[in-house]
Amino acid sequence: MREMVAEILSDAGLADDGALTRTLESLQTMCPAEAPAPTGALAELLAQGTAASGGVAPSRAATRAAEAAIGKLSPQVAPVVPFTLRKRHRGAAISAAVIAGVGLSATGVAALGGVDYSANPPQAGARSAIVAPQAGADAAAQGETSEAPDPVVREAQAFAAAAGGSPVAHADRSPAPTSGGKDAPASSGVVFPSAPPAHEAPAEAAIAPAAARVEDPSAVAQDAGAALSQRPAPRHRAEPVVNRGRHIAQEAAATAQAIAATFAPAPESTAVASPPVKEAVAVASGAGQHAASAAAGALGQQHGNSSGRALAALGTRH
Amino acid sequence: MPDSLTDRDLIAGVLPETDLFARVYESLAPAVLGYFGARGVDDPEALMQDVFLSVLPRIGEITGGVAGLRTFVFSVAHARVVDYYRRVERRPRSVDYDPLLDLRAVPSAEAEALVRTGQTDAHLLIGALKPEQRDVLMLRIVGELSVEDVASVLGKTPGAVKQLQRRGLKALREIVSEGVMAQ
């Protein structure tokens, strides 16, 4: 032990430190001079060898520790077959794949962000129409004078005046004026339906008198059918989805009212047609255009009148 | 003591098995017991006997002569100490207070006097070191292992072992010098 202490101190450059030398040598006092007498299983093992120790086994922890130490101390044999190129550069390959994936993702996001959504006129128009009133209100609040509306805005105002109660018309009817200043470019790409939006008001105008002339159901049905057939094919892309749904609901409700007004006072048809008519009205009022058209079609087939055919045509169009 | 065991003794067939076992036990048991005592194990003798129960039947698998046997024995001993502390930390004992079981202690006046005069208590000194520094110094001095063997036992690099040894010596020197200065 003295040699080991001297070696340690010389390695550390403290060979001349007598106090430290004595301190390290005092560590020897922690070891007993002789090994304690073995007891139990160890005594049996030392006395009789491994042949007699079959029934005595060390603890599982000691066995595991011994196996681990044997495995750790066994000579390490270098692999005969060196790593292949792929294994050797596996980390670099994974890093390159990750970087490429991140790059592609960022590129894709950038590409998607660069899409000109103004190419979709209806949505852009709806957005500009919604934004315009707010900006106009802000401008009015600030006391700024707005410039004259551009042609697109004038067209929107005309559309609004013709459409009446349409939500889009409400939006466009608002002080378009707002287009002045910063909001002008936003509405520059607005495109509205080229066909006059008269299909809303004429439809109601044609159905309302028909409801009044309850004494002539066939005439009412003809008027409604004519009014609906004259309507230009709706450009669904030109209307926001919400507004289109609202139009369909309005049409269904008006048609149902017309049918109710048509069939209710007729004494000869009330006895037979009242239940189906009520059912059709209820369905049309509540469930929407498809249900209304189906009910109306069934009604038309049952009674063979022109109002049923008109409703069926209306249903197929929507 | 260890010098009674030679590489020739470990060659198969030179000594009878029982004699080989007894010689190995007598040579290495004191050092293992001292190592366990320095680590503060509750029952060092039981743990030491468990180590030899698992080591002796495997002597035939060991290579490297006496140095390899020492490394193997202290590897098992170190693993058992680690297991012991893991078990103790995982399942702390909860017993009623007994003054005889209270191991908390402060250095006595005699111990302090010994420190001040340079005649230090080994347990007191080695207990002031960090656990890893204590392991390295005990395996180097008590186990008489080389730096490479200590690195193998502790699972560290030889450079790390040298660094721990250097820091342990520095800490011991500071403790001793403080005692001298106090004197």
Q: Can you give the residue range of the structural domain that contains A152?
A: 119-188
Residue B101 lies in a domain: no
Given an 8 Å threshold on Cβ–Cβ distance, is B21 in contact with A46?
A: yes
Statement to judge: residues A287 and A178 lie in one domain: no
Cβ distance A50 to B64 less than 8 Å, yes or no, reads no
Do B74 and B121 have their domain in common? no
Distances from the Cα of A303 to the Cα of A256, A269, A277, A299, angstroms: 16, 9, 11, 6
Of B93, B116, B134, which one is at a domain's C-terminal end?
B93
**Nearest CA-CA distance, residue A61 and chain B, Å:** 7
For residue B137, which residues of chain A lie inside 8 Å, CB to CB? 8, 24, 27
Query: Closest Cα partner for A188 from A149, A160, A157, A158?
Result: A149
- CATH code of the domain covering residue B165: 1.10.10.10
For chain A, the DSSP string reads -HHHHHHHHHHHT-TT-HHHHHHHHHGGGGS-SSPPPP-HHHHHHHHH-TTT-TT----HHHHHHHHHHHHHHSPPPPPSSPPPHHHHTHHHHHHHHHHHHHHHHHHHHHHHHT--GGGSHHHHHHHHHHHHHHHHHHHHHTTPPP-PPPHHHHHHHHHHHHH-S-HHHHHHHS-GGGGSGGGHHHHHT----SS-GGGSHHHHHHHHHHHH-TT-HHHHHHHHHHHHHTSPPP-GGGS-HHHHHHHHHHHHHHHHHHHHHHHSS-HHHHHHHHHHHHHHHHHHHHH-HHHHHHHHHHHHHHH--HHHHHHHHHHHH-
A39 belongs to a structural domain: no
Q: Which residues of B touch A76 (CB under 8 A)?
A: none
Nearest chain A residue (CA) to B153: A69
Q: How close does chain A come to B183, measured CA to CA in Å?
A: 13
Q: Between chain A and chain B, how many beta carbons pairs sit less than 8 Å apart?
A: 172
Are A168 and A229 within one domain?
Answer: no
Is A242 found in the same domain as A176?
A: no
Domain assignment present for B131: yes
Domain of B157 in residue numbering reads as 108-183
Which residue among B50, B165, B176 places its CB closest to the CB of A8?
Answer: B165
Considering the domain boundaries, does residue B172 fall inside one? Answer: yes
B69 and B123 within one domain: no
Alpha helix positions (H), B4-64: 17-38, 44-55
Residues A240, A169 share a domain: no
Which of A139, A163, A188 represents a domain boundary (last residue)?
A188
Kindly identify which residue of chain B lies nearest to residue A52, measuring between CA atoms.
B18
- Same domain flag for B132 and B89: no
Residue A30 covered by a domain: no
By the 8 A CB rule, do B63 and B41 touch? no
Indicate whether A9 belongs to any domain: no
Structural domain ending residue among the three candidates A138, A166, A188: A188
CA–CA gap between residue A122 and residue A140 (Å, rounded)? 27
**Residue range A246-264, pLDDT digits in tens:** 777 788 888 888 877 776 6
Per-position DSSP letters for A157-186, written without gaps between them: HHHHHHH-S-HHHHHHHS-GGGGSGGGHHH
CATH of the domain at B49: 1.10.1740
> B172 vs A59: CB contact, 8 Å cut-off?
no
Residue with tokens 């120790």: A53
Considering the domain boundaries, does residue B144 fall inside one? yes
Answer with the one of A140, A155, A188 that is the final residue of a domain: A188
Tell whether A2 is covered by a domain.
Answer: no
Residue A284 lies in a domain: yes
Q: Which residues of A fall within a CB distance of 8 Å from B75?
A: 65, 68-69, 72-73
Asked whether residue B154 is domain-assigned, the answer is yes
In this structure, the answer to whether residues B85 and B134 fall within a common structural domain is no
State how far residue B95 is from chain A, nearest Cα, in angstroms: 25
Helix, strand, or coil (residue B49) = helix
Nearest to B54 among A8, A27, A65 (CB): A65
Report yes or no on A306 lying in a domain: yes
Count of domains for chain A: 2
CB contact under 8 A, A72 and B125: no
B100 domain residue, yes or no: no
Chain A: give the shortest CA distance to residue B51, in Å. 6
A16 falls within a domain: no
Closest chain A residue by Cα to residue B136: A8
Task: List the single residue in A32, A56, A65 with the smallest CB-CB distance to B30.
Answer: A32
In a domain, residue A130? The reply is yes
Same domain as B114, residue B39: no
The reply to whether B5 and B74 lie within a common domain is yes
Q: Tell whether A128 and A215 lie within a shared domain.
A: no
Domain end, chosen from B60, B93, B126, is at: B93
Choose, out of A46, A67, A74, the residue to mutate when testing the contact with B (most B CBs < 10 Å). A46
Q: Is the ipTM of this complex over 0.95?
A: no
CB-closest option in B53, B57, B172 to A23: B172
Identify whether residues A136 and A161 lie together within a single domain.
Answer: yes
In B, which residues are within 8 Å of A14 by CB distance? 169, 173
Residues sharing a CB contact under 8 Å with residue A167, sequence separation 6 or more, in sequence order: A242, A243, A246
Are A166 and A184 contained in the same domain?
Answer: yes
| pLDDT tens-place values along chain A, 318 residues long | 778 888 888 888 887 888 888 888 888 788 888 888 888 888 888 887 777 655 556 677 777 777 777 666 665 555 555 566 667 788 899 999 999 999 999 998 888 876 666 666 555 455 555 555 554 455 455 544 445 556 767 777 777 777 655 444 444 444 444 444 444 444 444 444 444 444 445 555 555 555 555 555 566 556 656 655 555 555 555 555 556 667 777 888 888 888 777 766 555 444 444 555 555 555 545 544 554 455 545 554 555 455 555 555 555 554
Q: Give the total number of structural domains in chain B.
A: 2
Which pair of structure tokens corresponds to residue B77?
């001993």
Cα distances (Å, whole numbers) of residue A148 to A145, A161, A178, A180:
10, 18, 9, 7
B60-115 pLDDT per residue, tens: 888 888 888 889 999 999 999 998 888 888 776 677 787 777 777 777 777 677 66
Is the separation of the CB atoms in A43 and B56 below 8 Å?
no
User: Which tokens in the block code for residue B109?
Assistant: 């006046």
Residue of chain B whose Cα is closest to the Cα of A26: B122
Say whether both B20 and B89 belong to one domain.
yes
Tokens of A197: 């939006």
Which chain A residue has its CA at the smallest distance from B21's CA? Answer: A46
Instruction: For residues A206 and A304, state if they share a domain.
Output: yes
Q: Are residues A206 and A132 in the same domain?
A: no
The pLDDT assigned to A54 comes to 56
